[in-house]
Amino acid sequence: MICDNKNIVITGGTVSLGKVLARRLLTGEFGLPKKVIIFSRDEAKQHAMRVEYEQTVKQTDAVLYENFTRLLEFRIGDIRDFHAVSAVLKEAEIVINAAALKQVPSCEYFPFEAVQTNVFGAENIIRAIRENQTGVETVVGVSTDKACKPVNVMGISKALQERIFIAGNISVPGTRFICVRYGNVLASRGSVIPLFHEQIKRGGPVTVTTMDMTRFLLPLSHAVETIMAALKEALPGEIYIPKIPAALIIDVAKGLIGDRAIPIVYTGIRPGEKIDEVLVSEEEAWRTYDSGSYYAIQPLLPEIVKAQPDIQPLNKAYSSGDFVMNLEETENLLRLNGLLLEQKRGESEFLQ
C-alpha cells in the first residue's frame, strides 16, 4: 500500500484537512506509516490535537490511540523558514503540503503574506529536497479551485504554487511532484458553513453574498481520498481533481436554517470573489483526461508529459455552475456529513 512503512510529513498539519488526514493515516487503511509528522507553526493547535487523542481517542479506539503514541510526531516550524523545512524533511519520504493562507479577503489586503506562505513555502520544499539530497519520493501540493483562472491573490498564489511544484519535476528529477485541486471542503476552518452555524446559533441573520453564487462542496473524507488517489496513480506534474457536487450557497444557507425563523441578508460579493468556481478551465481541458472518479490535468512542460495516446481530453471547462444540486440534494449532502444543526423544541417560535 502507498503509505506502508513511509515517513510522512504533513505541512500545515493542524488544519481541518491535516487532522483528518493524520487520523486516517494512523488507522492504517492506506498502509501503516513508519512515522507521521505534523509540521506547523501553531503550538496551541498542536496541543489541542494531542489533547483530543489523549482524552477522546484513548477512550474510544485503543488501536488508533496506540498508533498515535507510536507514530505521530509534532514539529513546530514555519513553511516560510527554509531551515525549519530542511530539518523536517530530512527523513521524509512523502510530503503533503497543506500549509496555506487561504482566506480570500485576508490575502487581498496582505498579498505579500500570501506569497510568502503559498509561493515561497513551496519553493522551500523543493530547495530543501534538492540541496539536502533527501529521500523524498513524492510531494503532493494541496491546491484550490481558486487557482484556476484566478481573479484574487489567494488564487494567484496557489496557481503559482502549482506551477512551482510541477517545475520541481525538472529541477529535482528523483522526486515526483504532483498536485490535487478541489473546491470548498465542507465545514473546514474558515469556510462558510461554520460561519452559518454561528450566525444561526445567534439567531441570525445569515449573510449570503449573492443569490446566484455557486461552490463545489467536498467532504473532508473525499479530500483525503483525492490525495491518496493522486499518491497512488498520478504521473509527475499532474493535477488530480475530484468529480464533486456543486450547490448554490443560498441553498446551503436554507438547508442549515431549516424551519427556523431566521432571515437571510445579502451582502454583495467580497473582494476577489467569483460567482462560480472552476476546477478545469477551457485552456486546461484539452490536456485533461478522465481517470474514473477524478480528472487529471497533464503538465504544460513537454519534458514532463508522459504520452498517453488513447486518452480522450475534455472538451469544455469544469465549473461549479454546470451541474448544481437542488435544495433537497444540498440538504441531503449536509445531513450525510452531519452538518445540520439540531433544532430544539420551540426554537423557531423563540427566534421569531
Average pLDDT of the segment spanning 183-204: 85
Q: How far separated are the first and last CA of the chain, in Å rounded?
A: 55
Q: Does residue 168 or residue 192 have the better pLDDT?
A: 168
Q: Residue 243 pLDDT > 60, yes or no?
A: yes
Q: Is the pLDDT score of 350 beyond 50? A: no
What is d(CA 123, CA 296) in angstroms, rounded to the nearest whole number? 23
User: Model confidence over 112-159: pLDDT tens digits?
Assistant: 999 999 999 999 999 999 999 999 999 999 999 999 999 999 999 999
Smallest CA-to-CA distance from 289 within 301, 299, 281, 297 is with 297
Average pLDDT in the chain = 92
Window from 52-61, 138-147, 264-273, 289-298 with minimum mean pLDDT: 264-273
Name the pLDDT band for 352 (thresholds 50, 70, 90): very low
Which 3 state secondary structure label does DSSP give 69? helix
345 inside domain: yes
| Interval 323-332 mean pLDDT | 94
Residue 71 lies in a domain: no
Domain-located, residue 27:
no
> What's the whole-number mean pLDDT along residues 252-272?
91
Beta strand pairing status for 294-297 and 288-291? antiparallel
- Dump pLDDT digits (tens) for 52-108: 999 999 999 999 999 999 999 999 999 999 999 999 999 999 999 999 998 888 999
For the segment 275-289, the average pLDDT, to the nearest whole number, is 94
- Does any domain span residue 3? no
154's enclosing H/E stretch is: helix 153-171
Query: What integer pLDDT is reported at residue 346 of this predicted model?
Result: 47
Cell 441531503 sits on residue:
332
What CATH code is carried by the domain that includes residue 150?
3.40.50.720
How far is Cα 50 from Cα 38, in angstroms, rounded to an integer? 11
The whole-number average pLDDT for the span 31-39 is 98
Q: Is the pLDDT of residue 347 over 80?
A: no
Task: Please tell me the predicted confidence (pLDDT) of residue 344.
Answer: 58
Give kind and range of the element (H or E) at residue 80: none
Show the cell assigned to 75. Answer: 514539529
Q: Which three cell numbers stand for residue 316?
A: 469544455
Alpha carbons 217 and 212: distance in angstroms, whole number: 15
> pLDDT digit string (tens) for 208-234?
999 999 999 888 899 999 999 999 999
Quick check: is 145 in a domain? yes
Which of 295, 314, 282 lies closest to 242 in space, CA to CA?
Answer: 295
Average the pLDDT over 282-295 and give the result.
93
Q: Where are the beta strands (DSSP E) in the chain?
A: 7-11, 35-40, 72-76, 94-97, 138-144, 176-182, 184-185, 206-208, 214-218, 239-242, 246-248, 264-266, 278-280, 288-291, 294-297, 318-319
Query: CA 28 → CA 13, 25, 74, 124, 221, distances in Å?
Result: 18, 6, 19, 29, 15
Catalytic sites, residue numbers:
146
Note whether residue 344 is domain-resident.
yes
Mean pLDDT is lowest, of 209-213, 236-240, 340-344, 348-352, for 348-352
In this structure, is residue 230 part of a structural domain? Answer: yes
pLDDT of residue 348: 43
- Cα 141 from Cα 132, distance rounded (Å): 20
Domain region containing 208? 77-351
The answer as to whether 45 is a domain residue is no
Q: Is 268 exposed, middle or buried (0-12, 13-18, 19+ CB in 10 A)?
A: exposed
Instruction: Give the residue-averaged pLDDT of 256-267.
Output: 94
Whole-number percent of the chain with pLDDT over 90: 81
Q: Which residues of 6-17 are buried (b: 16+ CB within 10 A; e: fewer)?
A: bbbbbbbbbbbb
Query: pLDDT band at 184, cuts 50/70/90?
Result: confident
What band does 343 get if pLDDT is binned at 50, 70 and 90? low
Cβ burial, residue 106 (10 Å; 0-12/13-18/19+): middle
The count of structural domains within the chain is 1
Is 268:210 a contact under the CB 8 Å cutoff?
Answer: yes
